Structure 1
Amino acid sequence: MPGAEVPTRVDRSAGSQARPACAVRWTHALAWAAAGATFPLIWMGGLVTTYGAGMAVPDWPSTFGYNLFLYPLESWLAVWDVFLEHSHRLLGASVGLLSIALAVALWLTDRRRGMKWLGLAALAGVVLQGVLGGLRVLGNEIFLAKVHGCTGPAFFALAAALVTLTSPAWPAHGGPAGSTPGFRRAAWLLAAAIYTQIVLGANLRHQDPEGGAGWFRLWVWLHVIVAGVVVAATVAMRVWASSRVGQPVVVRRAGLLVGLLVLQVCLGIAAWVVRYGIPAWFADWTGELPYTVQAQSPLQAIVVTAHVAVGSLALATAVTLCLWSGRAGTQHN
């Protein structure tokens, strides 16, 4: 992590029971690679949903009968929807391979209790995500698409947790507790609220406003209400971290989370406008504004997908805030 000093020979400060420094560096690098590859995967998945390209390739795990890695390049690039869906699959396979490497590295080199199982959990998570995506294609099931949209951010948060836990800056022991039990519980509750917001957003994203207007309004209001609660709670956590906790890493994580959620609210408003237009009550208040919704336009795709991606990034940041707030006496980043 930024600001961490990497030991030159043997790491005795990261809860690793004297692991060789090269093992620390390699597992940390693999964790970063897995998390770093997952973020563009979430972006690509968001684009697939925005453009309605999830069924552009009707078979799975093959692509039009071809092995995933042998699909002809000219066919891949010829049709936009096929390009999106096949790219999504290739990125998913890449994350899977990185997860395998990370799980093996943790199992062979990390002696900390639970780390081996966390590596296997990450591997199981990416396999589950791939299977859900495949079954969604084979069955054309909207419910599976919603579940698929919820498990992706959860896996990204787990990958971010592994980045933190494999960091050379993660100390084995600290001094007095850096934060109170109340703060740590509040941090986990905030992470749970952010994930609830992601689940609500996934349902709203796959809800037809014309086919079920009542359900659509319900999901919208739940999404808006929980968003307000999450933003207010995050600001309170930032103030709490600064005034009572004092750990630099916790204060920085809380500040980063505030910034991400402010950005997320702005993206949420923009996503509504580019998908559904300017609300009538707002137009009545401000006067008619010249804007026409263009379905599947580049602007719509970028804004809506950014809203999805930043939500996942906020969840990952919240999880790392939880981990660092529970680390006694650490002053590292």
Structure 2
Amino acid sequence: MKYPKQATCSPHFMPALTQQRTDGYKPFLFLFCLFALAWITLLLFAGGMTTSIQAGMAFLDWPLSNGSINPDGWLSESDKMAEHSHRLLGMKIGLLSLGLLLWTYLRESRKWVRTLARILVWVVILQGVLGGSRVRFDQLNIMSDHNMLAQSFAVMHACGAMVVLGLLVALTLANTRRWIEGRAGLDVVLPTGVKRWGIAATITLFLQILVGAIMRHAGAGLAIATFPLASSNSLIPAYWNFGVSIHFAHRVGAVIVTAVLLIFLGKVWGSPAAKRALGYGALVLALILGLQIFLGALTIWTVKNPYAATLHQLVGAFLLASTWGLTFLAHHSGRATNSPHSN
């Protein structure tokens, strides 16, 4: 007795999907990466504004908002608009990350680039879970006498956003013509000092953003209400509590970040090869640093104006992204991207 053959997936089906993989420059993929960076900029602004105006609990449910994806009043009430637009933009970043994953899987022959795209999707999913946990475990929902758990999720959510941004920056740079074809200085090996101080600056900035996130979500942005002095005729606060301590730590961190970034910039400008490869980026980084210092002061001087505070948070993300981008480029310099061993 003959049995009908069971339908099976052809062993040639999966290779057929990926047969157009190349390691060459793909202009439309690069433009898609830029589009994703533009969207995450809007997402970071919406998230920062949500925190600045304390609208994180405008809706007590998640993932829906008042049980709907189009809740009443979200276009007319500022707290609902901030929180719901943040959720919608987060959803769009999720869709864009899936698009990047599919695109790189089908067309990109560099294995490490495909791996970055996979990691991006998982981190974006984790970000959604952290944001939802911040709402679900708020004291308004769990009826606790403190909000430490929700604030912890909020801080992790803020730091996770920086990881998503960093992954998108890496993917964007990896898909530039300059990276793929080794143009404009990327064909030489840069000094070790540039690479090491780039890593140090990136880590220092991430830790500073962590401290800033703790300060913002603890409501300590004005725990020290004057700048540059912390009390009358002194840089040191006159009294201490948790809010004052975390705020003062953020100010001290700003000094450390500035020093480390200036050393990094000095290493870049002090090397002819590094200046040729990264000089314009270093100049942009210096300008962003100056703007960030001004916005930090403006946040205090305007008694934490929500736009000043949000822009301070957003430009801080730009500062981290720029530093990470230059460091990423520095470590790529001198490598033959089109060699058979580069995948």
1:274, distance to aligned residue in structure 2 (A): 2.6
Counterpart residue identity of residue 157, structure 1: G
Query: How far, CA to CA, are the matches of 2:125 and 2:292 in structure 1?
Result: 29
Query: How far, CA to CA, are the matches of 1:48 and 1:137 in structure 2?
Result: 13
The residue that corresponds to 1:35 in the other structure is 37
Verify: 1:182 aligned to 2:175, yes or no.
no
The residue that corresponds to 1:112 in the other structure is 110
Query: How far, CA to CA, are the matches of 2:255 and 2:187 in structure 1?
Result: 34
Query: How far, CA to CA, are the matches of 1:115 and 1:216 in structure 2?
Result: 42
Verify: 1:171 aligned to 2:180, yes or no.
yes
Query: How far, CA to CA, are the matches of 1:249 and 1:173 in structure 2?
Result: 10
Query: How far, CA to CA, are the matches of 1:173 and 1:311 in structure 2?
Result: 29
CA contact (8 A) 2:59 2:66 kept: yes
Alignment RMSD = 2.3
- 1:324 maps to which of 312, 326, 329: 329
Matches within 5 A, 1:102-251: 102-140=100-138, 141-171=150-180, 177-209=188-220, 214-247=241-274, 248-251=276-279
Cα distance change, pair 177–20 in 1 and its aligned pair in 2 (3 A): closer
Unaligned runs of 5+ in 1: 1-15, 277-299
Greater RCO, 1 or 2 (C-alpha within 8 Å, sep 6+): 1
1:191, distance to aligned residue in structure 2 (A): 0.6
Query: How far, CA to CA, are the matches of 1:84 and 1:183 in structure 2?
Result: 40
Task: Classify the secondary structure of the residue corresponding to 1:53.
Answer: coil
TM-score of the superposition, structure 2-length normalised? 0.77
1:239, distance to aligned residue in structure 2 (A): 2.5
CA contact (8 A) 2:200 2:260 kept: no
Residues 127-170 of structure 1, C-alpha deviation per residue, up to 9 Å, x if partnerless? Answer: 11111111111111111111111111221122111110111221
Query: How far, CA to CA, are the matches of 1:235 and 1:253 in structure 2?
Result: 14
Larger radius of gyration: 2
Query: How far, CA to CA, are the matches of 1:200 and 1:47 in structure 2?
Result: 18
Residues 158-188 of structure 1, C-alpha deviation per residue, up to 9 Å, x if partnerless? Answer: 2111110111221366886331122111111
Task: Classify the secondary structure of the residue corresponding to 2:156.
Answer: helix
1:329, distance to aligned residue in structure 2 (A): 4.5
The residue that corresponds to 1:270 in the other structure is 298
1:213, distance to aligned residue in structure 2 (A): 5.0
Matches within 5 A, 1:4-153: 18-19=22-23, 24-66=26-68, 68=69, 71=70, 75-140=73-138, 141-153=150-162
Cα distance change, pair 63–177 in 1 and its aligned pair in 2 (3 A): same
Query: How far, CA to CA, are the matches of 2:66 and 2:322 in structure 1?
Result: 38
Counterpart residue identity of residue 121, structure 1: I
Counterpart residue identity of residue 311, structure 1: G
The residue that corresponds to 1:309 in the other structure is 314
CA contact (8 A) 1:187 1:322 kept: yes
Residues 29-86 of structure 1, C-alpha deviation per residue, up to 9 Å, x if partnerless? Answer: 22112111001100000110111111111111112112x2xx15x6321322111111
Task: Classify the secondary structure of the residue corresponding to 2:65.
Answer: coil
TM-score of the superposition, structure 1-length normalised? 0.79
Q: How many matched pairs?
A: 285
Query: How far, CA to CA, are the matches of 2:81 and 2:219 in structure 1?
Result: 25
1:249, distance to aligned residue in structure 2 (A): 3.7
Task: Classify the secondary structure of the residue corresponding to 1:62.
Answer: coil
CA contact (8 A) 1:197 1:223 kept: yes
Residues 73-117 of structure 1, C-alpha deviation per residue, up to 9 Å, x if partnerless? Answer: x63213221111111111111111111000111111111131111
1:314, distance to aligned residue in structure 2 (A): 0.6
Name whichever of 225-234 and 190-199 sits farther off: 225-234
